[in-house]
Every structure is written in C-alpha cells, then in structure tokens.
Amino acid sequence: MNRTHSANSATSTIDRRRWLRQTVGFAAMLAGSRLITPKAVAGETGALAGKRAQIAITLDLEMSAQYPTKDQVHWNYEKGNLNEETKRYAVEAARRVKQAGGTLHFFVVGRVFEQENTDWLREIVQTGHPVGNHTYDHVNVKAKTPEDLQFRFRRAPWLVEGRTPHDIVVENIRLTTEAMKNRIGVSPTGFRTPGGFNNGLHDVPEIQQLLLDQGYRWVSSLYPAHQADISNAANWNDVLQDIVAKQQNSQPFVYPSGLIEIPMSPVSDVTAFRAHQWKLEQFLEAIRAAVSWTIDNGAMFDFLAHPSCLYVTDPEFRAIDLICDLVQNSAGQAEFADLERIAERTTESLPK
C-alpha cells in the first residue's frame, strides 16, 4: 500500500501554522492559570535556544480489550496473544515511519514470545526499530496485592501464590528480557509501564530503583490527566486546549533517583477511541495540535498507540502518516527521535 500522506503535504504545513497561531494564543491565556508550571513555560524557550523538536512514534504490542468488537474482553487475560491484524499493522507502521526517515519505538509484552512465530518482530528490529520491555503479563507495577497486578492472576492465582507483588513485578520485567533475547536475539531498549500514571513513578521510588537495578536508565510511565469527554459538542475546543496544555507540561525530566522519565503525550488511541468514543478526525486534530505546539517550541512529543486498536479505528495509518508529515514539513525544526535519543538529550541538558 502506498503512503497517502504526500498528497496532503502542502495543506498540512498551512494547517500547522494555523494551529501554531491558535496554540500561541491560548498558551498565553493559560500562562496566567495554574495549568502551566514554570518548567513548562521554560520549555517554550527551547525554540529560542535553537533546539529541534523531538517527535517519537511509539506502539505498544499487546491486545486491547473491546477490539475488534466491544464484547472482546478476553484479551485482558491474554494480552500477548497478538492476532494477525495487529502484527500486520505493526510491520506496515514501521515500514511507513522508516520510509519517512524515522524509527518507530515498540514496547512488547513478554508473552508475545510464546507465540509460534516471531520472525515479523525480528525483521522489525533488523530494519532498525528499537523494542522496549512492557512486562511479561502487562502487570500494574504499583499493585499492592497480587489480584491488582493483572486479570490473569485473578483467574489463576496459583501462578503467583506466596510471592509479593514487588517480586512478581521484578520477575515480570526480567522474564521479558530473557524472552526477547531468546526469540529475537536482542535486549530491550527501555521500559514502559503498562497503563500510564498521572504522577509517573514519583510515589514509588522502589520501582525506580528496581528499574535502575535491572539496567534501565529511563522509563516511560507518566500519562497526564487531561480532558477527553466530548459528549457535549461545545467542549471540543476546551478538550483540545487542555490536551496541548498537558502536553506542554509533560516533558522529560529526571527523578531524584537518577532515572529519566519520558512521558507519553496525550491523547492516546485507547483514551480517545475506547474510553471516549472519539471519531478518527477528532483524534487527528488533537495530534496535530499537540505536535504543532511541540515543533514550534523545540519540545518533545511521544505518540502512544496500539496496533490492536488502530487496525480497527485507523486502518489507513492516517495518524502515523500525519505525524510523519508534520516532521517532514517542519523545515528542519523537528526530528524523529526514539525514546533512547530523547533520554540522551535529557541527560545532555542537565546542569553539569
């Protein structure tokens, strides 16, 4: 299938400029409110300092409940049992981003490596796309009880009997690393928590330490709370403005432990489509707004989506093509970056 985005290139630049004018307007308006912290405002100096925006495209390789049809909840118990459509979408998405000059950063749940064939993922890695660790069973790393870790352990508690949630999380991360090495011959590039946390890992220094101990220097765990309810049509502009404000406020930082946080940027596919029944056009408009702000301010955008959701909600890869267009038409103001590269720049920008 040919890429469809090139036909839209001229208009996307114009649309981006229109968005820039609007976002500058409401950023100024919001600057007086509590929504924007000094750190976020400082982010606006990025462009002045000549920094190029870093745009990451990331896909989490797991099945998503309610796809392809609303009644599908069994995926909650077998997140790693990827179907053919999901694998095909991942491969084609990687091909498109590569063709546009970037790399796509995947995060995989370890159970994927129990599947008969993982050649498709090996090929993705061999064409230069990094793959990170997303735990073996898609566990909640902040769980206080075994039942809160994952649906699988509610149905099959004997799998984790007698062990603490912390020990199970440690093993879930370690097993994924082993499975990756075994089946596709590489170690994970970074770690993303299943589920995003509004406060990242601020409240769990022991999890920060656990990741550092396993050799990870960065994590992607923070997904900011933002408005997404569009049941009232009059809300739409408020939702868009809130998404850009939260995106602005969710830039990479370093925890006191030394672990780097690379937040996920709103809006994610499951938040838009599953939680709030957005239309694809609305999803695209929100992405355009957030990426345009990012490019204009030399900041970071970390697109988060799931092929298992997108093959149903965005079968023509319009979101990924849109992001590629915005980078390619940025006149050098933006670059594709995987999260490893973003972590490097976060380290470089630390006071010496």
| Of 53-61, 139-147, 198-206, 279-287: span binding Zn ion (CB under 5 A) | 53-61
Whole-Å CA distances, 342 to 299, 336, 347, 348? 10, 10, 9, 10
Question: Binding to Zn ion by residue 194, rule CB under 5 A?
Answer: yes
SS3 content of the chain, % helix, strand, coil (to 5): 50, 10, 40
298, 47 in Cβ contact below 8 A?
Answer: yes
Q: Indicate the residue among 62 and 302 with the shorter CB distance to Zn ion.
A: 62
Give me the amino acid identity at 228: A
**Angle (nearest 5°) at CA 160 between 156 and 164:** 140
In the DSSP assignment, the letter for residue 264 is P
Size of the site for Zn ion (CB under 5 A): 3
Q: Indicate the residue among 60 and 325 with the shorter CB distance to Zn ion.
A: 60
| Of 21-29, 54-62, 272-280, 285-293: span binding Zn ion (CB under 5 A) | 54-62
For residue 95, the minimal CB distance to Zn ion (Å) is 22
Question: Binding to Zn ion by residue 137, rule CB under 5 A?
Answer: no
Choice from 15, 44, 60, 314 touching Zn ion (CB under 5 A): 60
Rounded Cα gap, residues 352 and 339, in angstroms: 22
Structure tokens at 327: 């980078």
Question: Binding to Zn ion by residue 190, rule CB under 5 A?
Answer: no
Rounded Cα gap, residues 20 and 126, in angstroms: 37
For residue 265, the minimal CB distance to Zn ion (Å) is 15
Q: Indicate the residue among 29 and 225 with the shorter CB distance to Zn ion.
A: 225
For residue 259, the minimal CB distance to Zn ion (Å) is 19
Q: Indicate the residue among 106 and 293 with the shorter CB distance to Zn ion.
A: 106
Task: Enumerate binding residues for Zn ion (CB under 5 A).
Answer: 60, 62, 194
